[in-house]
Structure 1
Amino acid sequence: MNRRVWIWSVVTALLMAGTAFLLAELRGRQRLGESGVRTRPIPGETLRVEVELPEVVPGYRSEPVAVQQEVVEALPADTSFGQRIYRGEDGFELLLNVVLMGTDRTSIHKPQFCLVGAGWRIDETVTDRIRIPRPHPYDLPVVKLLTSREMTVQGRAVPVRGVYVYWFVCGDGLSGEPTGWERMWWMARELVTRGVLQRWAYVTCFAVCAPGREEATYERMKAFLAEAVPEFQTVPGPPAPVAAGNQEGAQ
């Protein structure tokens, strides 16, 4: 064997062994952080809890939606869920869903895989901020996906659009960054420096609309989330800056 190849083989083996040892050490002393959403126990369940989504949001009635069994079986056994469909008086519908990780971070995944797997095409990805009024006014960082597909209605294919809004929250963080690197960096930093595995929740809100109604649909979703988020999310962002005109009026 070439001497240089031998040296690099030894170095690689040492690095792999060192990494394995470090991960084992971190795993042995890690503790699970607080979640950023409200939960309640599930009778007879030891690994999972239920994420408490509000039953009542002004202007909407709601009902719980069972998580598909194949989704439950595909994710780690200590993954928790909350899912409800909300209907406005005019028939407008949206689905609010939360996936909460336990000790296995693979519970949290990129939404793009699920959407494409369900037949939706992602046409546009936009980062945005939604003003949440309580417990103090703050701007919630979110990712907005504009999607499209065809649905069969009365035997013919009809184009429809979907507006998909998502973000991530844990006991000490909010992330609305689409690549996931921000969240992964925070998780690694907290695990190494404090031995805390951040317990992230993946929150999504989805509504279907006719082509051309995307912006109107998004505006309704923003108004809905402004009312709903304070009811289930326990971690707010930093207070939003007050506009100069409002400061003068408050004096």
Structure 2
Amino acid sequence: MNKTRWIFLVVGLALIGATAAFLVQFKNNRKLSPPGVLTRPIPENKDPVVVEVLLPEKVLDYESVLKQQEAIVTNTLPADTSYGERIYTAPDKFWIQMNAVLMGRDRTSHHKPQYCLTGAGWNIDQSMSQRETIHMERPVSYDLPVMKLISTRQQTIDGKTVTYRGVYVYWFVSDNEISGDESGVERMWSMGRELIMTGILHRWTYVSCFAPCLPGQEDAAYERVKTFIIAATPEFQLVPPPGKQAATGP
């Protein structure tokens, strides 16, 4: 190997080493933002990043029960992921499952919500699924960007095949932004930009609402979910704060 090649090799190895050292230092020095949702510590958990997301116990005329995350979820997602989940039931037995998943130091706490539905046996109807906005009046007037998915599932009951439809609405919120972007590109871009510019990793929360219904009742079910979201969201979501507008994506 001639002298020039040796020089290039040494310089290349030096650059690789310097880059690796920078990334390690960058990772060790980065800070976490506060969450954009209401939380409380879990005394028995030694990691202060792991908290409980506090969803409201009562919304409108819905009563709720707290639901613990299943082992398949907690064993799959990073250990510092935080959760909050409740099932709300109205007097006429219409029910809505609300779930919040707050990332910790690892952004892989979140994946495409479509995987959850299909994994549970629901087939998404792409022709009826679309981006929506829900107008909020509390704590300020703003439009909440969400993604609405309509899905179908069939079950055999007493030897007969019964078809159900599912209305699934979700969005993401950090300490200063809200996103209803289906692809996740908007959220990843924002997270990366802020991490590089400020050294702060913004912790996003994935919030979802699911309600089953019979075929033909999808629009009515979605309207009930919207009304529920309008009432429930200001009780636990801290963005936007009173008197300020949230930065929202498409």
| Preserved contact between residue 26 and residue 191 of structure 1 (Cα < 8 Å) | no
> In the superposition, relative to structure 1, how do residues 12 and 150 fare at CA in structure 2: closer, same or farther (>3 Å)?
farther
Change (3 A) 1:18 1:163: farther
Give the aligned residue type for 1:129: T
1:244 maps to which residue? Answer: none
* 1:151 corresponds to which of 144, 150, 155: 155
Once the two structures are superposed, residues 85-134 of structure 1 have per-residue CA deviations (whole angstroms, 9 ceiling, x without a partner) of: 00111111010000011111111111111111111111123111111211
Q: Using a 3 Å threshold, how does the CA distance of structure 1 residues 115 and 14 change in structure 2: closer, same or farther?
A: farther
Say which of 90, 93, 96 aligns to 1:94.
96
Q: Distance in 2 between matches of 1:107 and 1:169?
A: 14
Q: 1:59 to 1:24 in 2, by over 3 A?
A: same
Which string of whole-angstrom CA distances, capped at 9 and with x for unpartnered residues, describes residues 57-92 of structure 1? Answer: 111111101110111111111111000000111111
Contact map agreement 1:26 1:192 (CA 8 A) in 2? no
Unaligned runs of 5+ in 1: 1-8, 240-251
Contact kept, 8 Å, 1:99 with 1:201, in 2: the verdict is yes
CA RMSD of aligned residues (A): 2.5
Question: One-letter code of the match for 2:160?
Answer: R
Instruction: Say yes or no: does 1:113 pair with 2:120.
Output: no
Give the Cα–Cα distance (whole angstroms) in 2 for the partners of residues 230 and 142 of structure 1: 15
Structure 1 CA distance for aligned equivalents of residues 32 and 173 of structure 2:
14
| 2:3 corresponds to | none
Alignment of 1:75-224 (within 5 A): 75-124=77-126, 125-224=129-228
Measure the CA separation in 1 of the matches of 2:217 and 2:96.
14
The normalised TM-score by structure 2 is 0.87
2:33 maps to 33
Paired residue total: 235
Contact 1:41 1:50 in 2 (8 A): yes
* CA distance in 2: counterparts of 1:154 and 1:16, whole angstroms: 65
Moved more, 230-239 or 37-46: 230-239
Match of 2:42 in 1: 42
* Residue type at the aligned position of 2:201: L
Per the alignment, residue 237 of structure 2 pairs with 233
TM-score of the superposed pair, with normalisation by structure 1: 0.86
State the shift of 1:188 in Å.
0.2
Structure 2 residues without counterparts, runs of 5 or longer: 1-8
CA distance, structure 2, for counterparts of residue 20 and residue 34 of structure 1 = 28
Structure 1 residues 91 and 194: alpha-carbon distance in aligned structure 2, compared to 1, 3 A threshold: same
3-state DSSP class of the match of 2:26? helix
User: Partners in 2 of 1:17 and 1:169 — Cα distance?
Assistant: 36
1:15 deviates by 8.2
SS of 1:74's equivalent in the other structure is coil
For 1:106 and 1:140, locate their aligned partners in 2 and report how far apart those are by CA, in whole Å. Answer: 24
